[in-house]
C-alpha cells in the first residue's frame, strides 16, 4: 500500500526547506534567528507528527544471559581442547565480571573523519569533560572500557561514516553524534543539516543525541570606523559554541550512569566471547588442514591413474563428500549427506564458472616443463590440478565453517555465502603456491598411484 503523502520524509523535508527559504527571503532582516529556527522546525519536522520519537536500536541481551552463554561456550571449548589450561585466564576474567560492574570512571572518546575538529573539541570540553582522542584506526581497536563515543562530523554523514555509527551501536556503544563546524553554514542551513542528520540516523541514534557545535568558530572580520574617516579592520574570535553538547553530556552522564556501566560489562563479555571463538578457530585449523592434506590426493590419484577430463571430475564433486562430512564434524556442523553433496556441487559450480581448471592446468604444465622433472606421467597435470583444486575448494569451505558459531544449536547452510568464500579462495593469489605444491606433489602422486594400483 502506498504511504500517505504526509509520511514521506523526503518530500516533506523538501517542501519544508523551500517554505523555509521562501520565508527567510521574504521576512525582514531583524527577525530573530531563534524564531526562524522555530518556523523551520515546524515545517521540516512535519513528518515527525504522530510518531512516538525515534525508534531505539534493538535491545542488547541482558548481562546475565550473555554471561551464561559465554560460560557455556568456555566449558564446551575446554571439553574439546587438547590443552588442559585452555581458557583458564578467560574464566578468571569472567568470574571478575560476575562480581559486579567495573567501578572505574565512565570513559569518553571522540571518533570521526580526519579534520572534522575532534582534537579541537576535546580541548574545548576540557577540563569539565575528559575525552580521549584515540589515534586513527579501526573502530574495533577501541577498548571495551570506552563507554560513550562522540562521533564527530562536519555536516551530513557519508555512507562510510553511517556504517561506523551502525557499528558503534551494534557493539553496544553509547553514541552522541556531533555536527561540528556549524559556523561554516548559515543558520537556516545548520538547521536543515541537523534535521537531515536526525532523519538519516533514525532508528539508530535518537534526535536528542544529535547535537551541533562550533569548537573553534572561524574569526569574523570586524570593521571599525575611526575619527577622520579611516577604517580599521581586525578579526574577532567568537567563543566556541558547545552549550547543547555540554548539556546533553551532563544529562547522559547523570541519568544513564548505571546503563553505561552495564554496557561496559556486556562489551567485556562480548570481547571474551570473541577471544574464545578465535582460540577455537586456531585450535581447529591445523586439524582441518591435516584432513585436507590427506584427502586432496584422492581426486588427484583418480585423475592421475585414468586421466579423466578435469571438468568431469569437478562436475562429480571437486571436494570429496567424505572430506566435507569430516570437516563438518570437526566444526560441529553435523552435515547430512544431502548437505555435503550440495556443498560439493556448489564448490564445483564456482570453479566451473571461474574457469579455474584452465588456469590450474596451465600453471602446472608450465611448471613441469620448466623444471627438471625427469619423468612426467600422462595424468600428472590432471592429477596435480585436481589435488590443488580440491585443496582450494576445501579451504573455502573451512573459511565458511570458521564464520559459523563454534557450537551451533541449529545448522542452517548458506550455499550463497559458501560460494562467495570459495570464489575468494580461488582469487588471483591462489596460484602462487601451486608450483611448490606441484613439486612436493608429483612424487607423492606417483607413490599413491602405485599404491592404489597394487
C-alpha cell, 149: 563515543
The answer to whether 94 and 74 are in contact (CB under 8 A) is yes
Indicate which of ligand GTP, Mg ion, none lies near residue 217 (CB less than 5 to 8 Å, by partner kind).
Answer: ligand GTP
In Å, what is the CA distance from 307 to each residue of 145, 301, 313, 391?
61, 9, 10, 19
168: CB partners within 8 A, 6+ apart:
111, 139, 149, 151, 175
Indicate which of ligand GTP, Mg ion, none lies near residue 117 (CB less than 5 to 8 Å, by partner kind).
Answer: ligand GTP
Indicate which of ligand GTP, Mg ion, none lies near residue 171 (CB less than 5 to 8 Å, by partner kind).
Answer: none
3-state DSSP assignment of residue 234: strand
- Give the nearest distance from C-beta 134 to ligand GTP in angstroms: 10
- Which CB atom, from 118 or from 173, has the smaller least distance to Mg ion? 118
Indicate which of Mg ion, ligand GTP, none lies near residue 120 (CB less than 5 to 8 Å, by partner kind).
Answer: ligand GTP
- Which CB atom, from 153 or from 299, has the smaller least distance to Mg ion? 153
- For residue 359, the surrounding DSSP H or E stretch is helix 356-370
Name which of 55, 11, 19, 18 is nearest 198 in CA terms.
55
- Give the nearest distance from C-beta 68 to ligand GTP in angstroms: 41
- Give the nearest distance from C-beta 328 to Mg ion in angstroms: 49
- Which CB atom, from 157 or from 323, has the smaller least distance to ligand GTP? 157
Indicate which of ligand GTP, Mg ion, none lies near residue 218 (CB less than 5 to 8 Å, by partner kind).
Answer: ligand GTP
3-state DSSP assignment of residue 149: strand
Distance between CA atoms of 297 and 305, rounded to whole angstroms? 12
- Give the nearest distance from C-beta 129 to Mg ion in angstroms: 16
Number of residues counted as binding Mg ion (CB under 5 A): 2
Indicate which of ligand GTP, Mg ion, none lies near residue 146 (CB less than 5 to 8 Å, by partner kind).
Answer: none
- Which CB atom, from 215 or from 356, has the smaller least distance to ligand GTP? 215
3-state secondary structure 71-84: HHHHHHHHHHCCCC
Neighbours of 358 (CB within 10 A): 12
What is the contact surface with ligand GTP in residues (CB under 6 A)? Answer: 114-120, 180-181, 183-184, 214-218
Distance between CA atoms of 284 and 402, rounded to whole angstroms? 9
- Give the nearest distance from C-beta 242 to ligand GTP in angstroms: 9
Chain positions 356 to 415 lying near Mg ion, rule: CB under 5 A, are none
Q: What is the DSSP letter of 221?
A: E
Indicate which of Mg ion, ligand GTP, none lies near residue 378 (CB less than 5 to 8 Å, by partner kind).
Answer: none
Indicate which of Mg ion, ligand GTP, none lies near residue 115 (CB less than 5 to 8 Å, by partner kind).
Answer: ligand GTP
3-state DSSP assignment of residue 8: coil
- Which CB atom, from 240 or from 317, has the smaller least distance to Mg ion? 240
Distance between CA atoms of 330 and 328, rounded to whole angstroms? 5
Chain positions 63 to 122 lying near Mg ion, rule: CB under 5 A, are 118-119
Examine residue 123 and say whether the peptide bond preceding it is cis (omega within 30 degrees of 0).
no
C-alpha cell, 244: 547543547
- Give the nearest distance from C-beta 116 to Mg ion in angstroms: 9
3-state DSSP assignment of residue 373: coil
3-state DSSP assignment of residue 411: coil
CA Rg value for the chain: 31
Which residue number has the CB closest to Mg ion? 119
Q: Does 123 bind Mg ion (CB under 5 A)?
A: no
Q: What is the DSSP letter of 201?
A: T
- Give the nearest distance from C-beta 233 to ligand GTP in angstroms: 19
- Which CB atom, from 119 or from 189, has the smaller least distance to Mg ion? 119
The answer to whether 317 and 345 are in contact (CB under 8 A) is yes
- Which CB atom, from 118 or from 266, has the smaller least distance to Mg ion? 118
Angle, CA 416 vertex, CA 80 and CA 397 arms, to 5°: 35
Indicate which of Mg ion, ligand GTP, none lies near residue 184 (CB less than 5 to 8 Å, by partner kind).
Answer: ligand GTP
- Give the nearest distance from C-beta 252 to Mg ion in angstroms: 23
Indicate which of ligand GTP, Mg ion, none lies near residue 428 (CB less than 5 to 8 Å, by partner kind).
Answer: none
Q: What is the DSSP letter of 410?
A: S
- Which CB atom, from 118 or from 391, has the smaller least distance to ligand GTP? 118
- Which CB atom, from 8 or from 113, has the smaller least distance to ligand GTP? 113
- Which CB atom, from 28 or from 160, has the smaller least distance to ligand GTP? 160
Binding residues vs Mg ion (CB under 5 A): 118-119
Amino acid at each position: 500500500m502506498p504511504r500517505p503523502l504526509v509520511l514521506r520524509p523526503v518530500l516533506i523535508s523538501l517542501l519544508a526547506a523551500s517554505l523555509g527559504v521562501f520565508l527567510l527571503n521574504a521576512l525582514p532582516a531583524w527577525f530573530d534567528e531563534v524564531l526562524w529556527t522555530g518556523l523551520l522546525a515546524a515545517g521540516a519536522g512535519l513528518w515527525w507528527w504522530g510518531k512516538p520519537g525515534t525508534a531505539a536500536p534493538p535491545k542488547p541481551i541482558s548481562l546475565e544471559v550473555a554471561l551464561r552463554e559465554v560460560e557455556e561456550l568456555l566449558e564446551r571449548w575446554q571439553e574439546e581442547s587438547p590443552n588442559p589450561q585452555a581458557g583458564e585466564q578467560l574464566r578468571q576474567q569472567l568470574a571478575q565480571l560476575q562480581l559486579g560492574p567495573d567501578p572505574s570512571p565512565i570513559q569518553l572518546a571522540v571518533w570521526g573523519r580526519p579534520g572534522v575538529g575532534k582534537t579541537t573539541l576535546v580541548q574545548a570540553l576540557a577540563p569539565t569533560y575528559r575525552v580521549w582522542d584515540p589515534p586513527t584506526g579501526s573502530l574495533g581497536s577501541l577498548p571495551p572500557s570506552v563507554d560513550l563515543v562522540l562521533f564527530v562530523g562536519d555536516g551530513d554523514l557519508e555512507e562510510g561514516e553511517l556504517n561506523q555509527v551502525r557499528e558503534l551501536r551494534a557493539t553496544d556503544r553509547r553514541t552522541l553524534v556531533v555536527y561540528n563546524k556549524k559556523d561554516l553554514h548559515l543558520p537556516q542551513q545548520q538547521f536543515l543539516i541537523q534535521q537531515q542528520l536526525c532523519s538519516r540516523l533514525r532508528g539508530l541514534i535518537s534526535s536528542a543525541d544529535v547535537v551541533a557545535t562550533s569548537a573553534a568558530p572561524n574569526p569574523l572580520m570586524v570593521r571599525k570606523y575611526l575619527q577622520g574617516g579611516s577604517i580599521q579592520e581586525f578579526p574577532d574570535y567568537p567563543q566556541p559554541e558547545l552549550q547543547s553538547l555540554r548539556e546533553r553530556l551532563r544529562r547522559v552522564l547523570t541519568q544513564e550512569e548505571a546503563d553505561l556501566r552495564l554496557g561496559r560489562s556486556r562489551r567485556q563479555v562480548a570481547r571474551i566471547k570473541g577471544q574464545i571463538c578465535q582460540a577455537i578457530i586456531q585450535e581447529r585449523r591445523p586439524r582441518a588442514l591435516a584432513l585436507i592434506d590427506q584427502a586432496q590426493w584422492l581426486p588427484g590419484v583418480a585423475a592421475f591413474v585414468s586421466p579423466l577430463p578435469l571438468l568431469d571430475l569437478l562436475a562429480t564433486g571437486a571436494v570429496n563428500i567424505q572430506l566435507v562430512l569430516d570437516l563438518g564434524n570437526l566444526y560441529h556442523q553435523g552435515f547430512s549427506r544431502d548437505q555435503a553433496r550440495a556443498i560439493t556441487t556448489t564448490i564445483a559450480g564456482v570453479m566451473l564458472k571461474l574457469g579455474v581448471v584452465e588456469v590450474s592446468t596451465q600453471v602446472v604444465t608450465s611448471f613441469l616443463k620448466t623444471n627438471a622433472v625427469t619423468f612426467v606421467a600422462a595424468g600428472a597435470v590432471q592429477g596435480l590440478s585436481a589435488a590443488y583444486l580440491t585443496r582450494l575448494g576445501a579451504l573455502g569451505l573451512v573459511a565458511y565453517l570458521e564464520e559459523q558459531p563454534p557450537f551451533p544449536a541449529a545448522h542452517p547452510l548458506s550455499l550463497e555465502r559458501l560460494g562467495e568464500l570459495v570464489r575468494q579462495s580461488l582469487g588471483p593469489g591462489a596460484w602462487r603456491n601451486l608450483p611448490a605444491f606441484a613439486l612436493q606433489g608429483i612424487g607423492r602422486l606417483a607413490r599413491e598411484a602405485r599404491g592404489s594400483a597394487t
